[in-house]
Amino acid sequence: MELNRRTVIAGAAAAGIAATTLGGTAEASSSKKPTKKLFGTLADGTKVHIWSLANGGTRMKVLSWGGVVQSLEIPDRHGHYANVSAGFDNIEDYVAKTPYFGALIGRYGNRIAKGQFTLDGKSYQLSVNDGVNSLHGGTQGFDKRVWDVEPFTKGSDVGLHLHYTSVDGEMGYPGTLKVKVTYTLTRHGEWRIDYEATTDKATVVNLTSHVYWNLGGEGTGTIEDHELRIAASRYTPTDSGLIPTGELAKVAGTPFDFRKGKHIGRDIRAGHEQQVLAKGYDHNWVLDKGITAKPEHVATLRDPSSGRTLKISTVEPGLQFYSGNFLDGTLTGTGGHTYRQGDALCLETQHFPDSPNHPSFPSTVLRPGQTYRTTTLHSFGA
């Protein structure tokens, strides 16, 4: 059975979700149209712009390159702002070095085994860029494309519409996929992402956002003291290539149990065979709620030092928690600090990795006449 979310229009993300207001300043109740300026120029002469937007106490900067969230600033318990998203201060590093910092991911978030899948009896070979596997859409995924960006204000909300058309055969995927992603900052300072896509041929789609979070502030050190809670009783174990085996394993009694919340560093070196394979956490959690028509709260991240919190709500059935295992000190971020292992983490709402090769996983098939729609909401507090 193919996804019911393909034809379900998600309702207002705020419905049923407690709003988190960041401060009571005039900024929290005002919204201004986003502004842009030149960020850099690609080798072929294409200009890349950076858009600045603010609302409800949250400040964000977004690149037309890859839909990248270049920075996201929120206040701590004392009202002091910090950028909590890892990134670069120049386009050259994004082109040459980025491990998907802040990027929109597609056509398929996460891995597909050997870059291969079969759909309607036809086999497809995708771009391979992670050993023998395809990762995050291949060598030139959506994170490495220049998006058309349209700013908007709607009532008390402010945001950006990002558009990209992926032609039939791009990175090996069938069908011309027309994609629209909307970033909205609400009057409560929430960051909402609405994804939409249509196709002219049957294809697979799994879009997500790859922000690297450190609620203590970008470049300030380890995230192992952050507290994380994930509403998931199961996860998908992987092989040595980080491809799911197909099992939905119970988290109970393992380092993967975040149901009651705990410091990330508490069990990160517990020596579980799955942690050894991934060099920490780099797995998909099977969310207890499953696929939902409206975003539901599934994860909470908190930095005890600053008091900053991040709550994630989504319609998606999975959440990839990546603990920054492959940051190796060779990348320098926006604040001039180098990023080392565990200096940031990702919480990617998604369908499961390698779903096209696992019929028992929720389907990621999109067909002509259907519209892919999914929503994720980030609520900030202190």
Which residues are tagged catalytic?
210, 348
Dihedral (C-alpha) 42, 137, 350, 181: value to the nearest 10 degrees?
40
Can you tell me the distance from the alpha carbon of 85 to that of 331, in angstroms, rounded to the nearest whole number? Answer: 14
The encoded tokens of residue 329 equal 């000190």
Q: What is the DSSP string of 50-91?
A: EEEEEETTEEEEEESBTT-EEEEEEE-TTS-EEE-B---SSH
Can you tell me the distance from the alpha carbon of 8 to that of 86, in angstroms, rounded to the nearest whole number? Answer: 33
Residue 208 zone, left/alpha/beta (φ > 0; ψ -120 to 50; rest):
beta
Decide: 48 and 146 in contact? Cβ < 8 Å: yes
The encoded tokens of residue 78 equal 């004392």
The encoded tokens of residue 39 equal 């960020």
Can you tell me the distance from the alpha carbon of 241 to that of 246, in angstroms, rounded to the nearest whole number? Answer: 14
Can you tell me the distance from the alpha carbon of 295 to that of 338, in angstroms, rounded to the nearest whole number? Answer: 35
Decide: 351 and 318 in contact? Cβ < 8 Å: yes
Residue of 110, 84, 47, 146 lying closest to 333 (CA atoms): 84
Q: What share of the chain is helix, strand, coil (3-state, %, to 5)?
A: 10, 40, 50
Residue of 308, 302, 307, 287 lying closest to 376 (CA atoms): 287
Decide: 151 and 178 in contact? Cβ < 8 Å: no
Residue 226: strand, helix, or coil: coil
